[in-house]
Structure 1
Amino acid sequence: MHLQLIRNATLRLSYAGQTLLIDPWLAPRHAVRSFGGRSRNPTVDLLMPVDAVLGGVDLTLVSHLHPDHFDTDPVRLPLDGPLLAPPAEAAALRTLGFTDVLTLEDAVTWRGLHITRTPGAHGTGTARAAMGEVSGFVFRADGEPTVYWAGDTIWNDDVARTIEQHAPDVIVVHAAGAQYEGTLIIMDAEQALAVCAAAPRAVVVATHLEAVDHATVTRADLRAAAARAGLADRLLVPEDGETLSLPAQAVTG
């Protein structure tokens, strides 16, 4: 399995003979409004042409339609490409003109790849209400590690139950410590370490970093926290454009 971080939450996942694109945010630098009052977003450019991000993609997965996860104004994906999304997002994507949208209610098997939708909490209290519902995904296939892409969630019981139920080999977390009106809405360094503790045999990959202006945690912060906890070999913090190769035997042996 190969996982390439494009930018923020956007990933290309080579898995079970398929190329998956997750939450493609393709906007140029500063094309989107500020989220934290410090800068327009994204705060950094894509490191590759959009055509290179989209080339060879077999299926695009959309967790939710926040403006740092998917471009809607303007739409930057081909309207006829296959997408998979939870029910509300699938309906919205069809309204935007996408013509090949699969709805993910709970779980689906697609080309030998089993995809399960998972819950999360995009904050607490009024922040969670403002952010709305979000989803993550668990990927399973013969000969591949089980991958849990947690999505825009803080560490909570939903995440803990998903780890317990699915025993993932690889967990992708969003760990920039982004805040909404002072409330944490995705994981920070402490919560990323809590994921490591809950899944002691898994590799944890931290993404959603250094691309939005409401973030409070940097890559250096995460790497330092992992080093202090003795987890530098299990909490991986890729750079934009970096590809990680994670064969099943490397994460389960």
Structure 2
Amino acid sequence: MKIRLIRSATILLEYAGKKFIIDPYLAAKHTMPSYTGKSLNPLVELPCEPFQVIAGIDMAIISHLHSDHFDPTAQRLLPTNLLILCQPGDESEIKAVGFQSVVPIIDQITWENIEIIRTACQHGSGEVLQEMGAASGFIFKNENEPTVYWAGDTIWCKAVDNTISQVKPSIIITHSCGAVWGDNIPIVMDAKQTVKVCLAAPTSTIIATHMESLDHTTISRECLRKYAEANGIRVEQLLIPSDGETYHFDC
């Protein structure tokens, strides 16, 4: 099994002999609008050419339709006959931009011997949560692979805690940049909340992603590492990949 961070929330997952992309955000540096007025997005280039990112993929998962998770460049470059899995309610918009094989996951599906379970997210709080709308995470299971929980765009919340305690995933992928919206309301995990994940899942490997790519983030990779170490989290438990970095895992 391989997990490669491309940039921001975009992941390539090779799992049970299949290769798929999660939340493709393939725009060139500074070609997308700012979220805060600080800078155009994304802040950095992809680690390779977009066509190399999507080469050989079997399927895509779109967790929600925010522009940093499914951008116009990805919509243009992905094959229109590619299987796309999404959360209920997003399928019509994805089909509207030309994709022919779009399947919403209500609870779970089995695809090519891989069980894919949709999980709840809390993409902010208060009025900001209403503005952000629904987002989803996903669990991946196969008898020959470690169980992976990709938490998605969420803060630490009861749904995340319950998923960890019930599923006991071997690998948890978090969005840990501390992005904020409105009156500095967190919409994904920051360093403190990422450490909560580590403490809630002491035998799991946590992979912190969605970092240093957008202008509404508040936590750097260095900041997260320092905070984690100060709170007793081992380097081996909390992985903080650079863009383009790949991890290999055995069952």
Q: Show the 5 A alignment for 1:9-88.
A: 9-72=9-72, 75-76=75-76, 77-88=78-89
- Tell me what 1:251 maps to: none
Match of 2:116 in 1: 115
Give the conservation status (yes or no) of the 8 Å contact 2:24–2:74: no
TM-score (norm 1): 0.96
- 1:86-122 per-position Cα deviation (integer Å, ceiling 9, x unaligned): 1211221111110111221110000000000000100
- Aligned pair 1:188/2:151, yes or no? no
Q: 1:234 aligns with which of 233, 237, 240?
A: 237
How far has the Cα of 1:230 moved from its partner?
Answer: 2.6
1:120-159 equivalences in 2 (<5 Å): 120-159=121-160
Question: What code does the residue aligned with 2:245 have?
Answer: E
Asked if 1:244 corresponds to 2:247, the answer is yes
CA–CA distance in structure 1, aligned partners of residues 185 and 145 of structure 2 = 36
Give, in whole Å, the separation in 2 of the partners of 1:103 and 1:242.
30
2 CA distance for matches of 1:72 and 1:170? 30
**AA aligned opposite 2:151:** A
The alignment partner of 1:150 has SS state of strand
Range moving further from structure 2, 95-104 or 52-61: 95-104
Instruction: State the number of aligned residues.
Output: 248
CA distance in 1: counterparts of 2:16 and 2:227, whole angstroms: 33
Query: Is 1:164 matched up with 2:126?
Result: no
**What is the one-letter code of the residue matched to 1:23?**
D
Structure 1 residue 36, shift from structure 2 partner: 1.6
Aligned partners of 1:23, 1:73: CA distance in 2, in Å? 12
Structure 1 residue 137 displacement after superposition = 0.1
1:203 positional shift:
0.4
- Kept after mapping to 1: 8 A contact 2:191/2:223: yes
Structure 1 residues 11 and 74 mapped into 2: Cα distance closer, same or farther (>3 Å)? Answer: closer
TM-score (norm 2): 0.96
Q: Aligned partners of 1:203 and 1:73: how far apart in 2?
A: 32
> How far apart, CA to CA, are the structure 2 residues paired with 1:145 and 1:101?
26
Q: Secondary structure, in 3 states, of the residue corresponding to 1:87?
A: coil
Question: In 2, Cα distance between the equivalents of 1:110 and 1:131?
Answer: 29
- The answer to whether residue 101 in structure 2 is matched with residue 100 in structure 1 is yes
User: Percent identity at matched positions?
Assistant: 43
1:207 aligns with 2:221: no
AA at the equivalent of 2:207: V
Cα separation, 2, equivalents of 1:189 and 1:15: 28
Does the Cα contact within 8 Å between 2:26 and 2:74 map onto a contact in 1?
no
Listed as ranges, the gaps of 5+ residues in structure 1 are: 249-253
1:116 and 1:74 map into 2 onto residues whose CA distance is 24
Q: Please state whether the residue corresponding to 2:193 is helix, strand or coil.
A: helix
1:141 and 1:66 map into 2 onto residues whose CA distance is 29
Bigger shift: 230-239 or 210-219?
230-239
- Rounded to whole Å, the distance in 2 between the matches of 1:36 and 1:79 is 33
> CA–CA distance in 1 between the matches of 2:48 and 2:72?
20
Q: Secondary structure at the match of 2:212?
A: coil
Residue number in structure 1 paired with 2:227: 225
